[in-house]
């Protein structure tokens, strides 16, 4: 899988960016010859950059016979390029708004079906998600590694761990209580999933960090 950063980096080359912009403006897939002629490039140069864009998941490759003929003698299908059906998103620092949207939407739907309060459902689902994230990363390190991999930017602060980034930052600013509660239960799920009994998650909001902080559990 190509990362969003790698995909965007592929556009740093000027001719590659021009080719990408040309292809995505067209209503139909574009051949190498058409792209080369439109931008005044050598066919080999256009082909190289188009294939690099396809490798970076920025363009999709399709094969079509432009003559409309089929069967023997119709010739080989042409290799054509079009805008990728995928979506590339890069957020620095890391954000996961789609994940928050899924959790919130699921909480509303389950609440309507069961009558359980929305916030209770959200907290339970966030906790379950944290446990799944812990299970997925259990072999690659402890809680620091799992939180780092999921965009929280943990850093040690004495005996505690501060989470330097909130993956749901914009939502947390507008809906602080809801999102911070979701974050707290998600991190608690990570701790439980990793059996981190010596650490507890608590709310400690700050302007430059996530609202959750990890501290040693009381004796």
pLDDT top residue among 154 and 69: 154
Q: What is the mean pLDDT of the chain?
A: 86
How many angstroms from the chain centroid is the CA of residue 129?
A: 16
Q: Are 217 and 198 in contact (CB under 8 A)?
A: yes
What pLDDT score does 5 carry?
55
Residue 44 in tokens: 């080999």
Poorest-pLDDT segment among 23-32, 74-83, 135-144: 135-144
Rounded distance between C-alpha atoms, residue 17 and residue 135, angstroms? 40
What pLDDT score does 207 carry?
74
Alpha-carbon Rg for the chain in angstroms: 24
Rounded distance between C-alpha atoms, residue 121 and residue 144, angstroms? 26
Closest by CA to 52, choosing from 27, 15, 25, is 15
What pLDDT score does 96 carry?
83
Does the structure show a pLDDT above 90 at 208? no
Closest by CA to 191, choosing from 142, 126, 122, 141, is 142
N-terminal to C-terminal alpha carbon distance within the chain:
45
Give the E-state strand segments of the chain in sequence order.
30-31, 59-64, 78-83, 154-157, 160-163, 199-203, 212-216
Pairing of strands 154-157, 59-64: unpaired
What confidence tier does 197 reach under pLDDT thresholds 50, 70, 90? confident
Does the structure show a pLDDT above 70 at 31? yes
**Which domains does the chain possess?**
4-83 (1.10.10.10), 97-216 (no CATH)
pLDDT top residue among 37 and 86: 37
Closest by CA to 12, choosing from 45, 53, 55, is 53
- Number of helices (H), then strands (E), belonging to the chain: the values are 9, 7
Burial class (CB in 10 A: 0-12, 13-18, 19+), 207: exposed
What pLDDT score does 1 carry?
39
What pLDDT score does 74 carry?
53
pLDDT in tens, 100-156: 999 999 999 999 999 999 999 999 999 999 999 998 866 667 899 899 888 898 988
Q: Are 150 and 212 in contact (CB under 8 A)?
A: no
What pLDDT score does 126 carry?
96
């Amino acid at each position: 899988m190509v990362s969003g950063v790698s995909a965007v980096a592929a556009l740093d080359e000027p001719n590659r960016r021009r080719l990408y912009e040309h292809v995505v403006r067209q209503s139909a897939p574009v051949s190498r010859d058409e792209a080369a002629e439109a931008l005044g490039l050598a066919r080999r140069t256009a082909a190289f950059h188009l294939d690099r864009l396809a490798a970076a998941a920025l363009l999709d490759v399709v094969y079509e016979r432009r003559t409309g003929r089929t069967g023997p003698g119709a010739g080989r299908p042409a290799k054509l390029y079009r805008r990728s059906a995928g979506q590339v998103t890069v957020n620095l620092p890391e954000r996961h708004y789609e994940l928050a949207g899924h959790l919130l939407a699921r909480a509303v739907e389950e609440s309507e079906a069961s009558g359980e309060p929305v916030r209770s459902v959200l907290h339970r689902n966030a906790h379950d998600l944290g446990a799944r994230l812990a299970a997925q990363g259990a072999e690659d390190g402890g809680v620091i590694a799992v939180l780092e991999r999921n965009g929280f930017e943990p850093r040690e602060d004495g005996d505690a761990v501060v989470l330097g980034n909130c993956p749901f930052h914009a939502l947390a600013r507008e809906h602080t209580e809801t999102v911070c509660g979701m974050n707290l239960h998600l991190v608690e799920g990570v701790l439980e999933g990793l059996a981190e009994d010596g650490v507890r998650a608590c709310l400690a909001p700050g302007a430059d960090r996530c609202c959750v902080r990890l501290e040693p559990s009381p004796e």
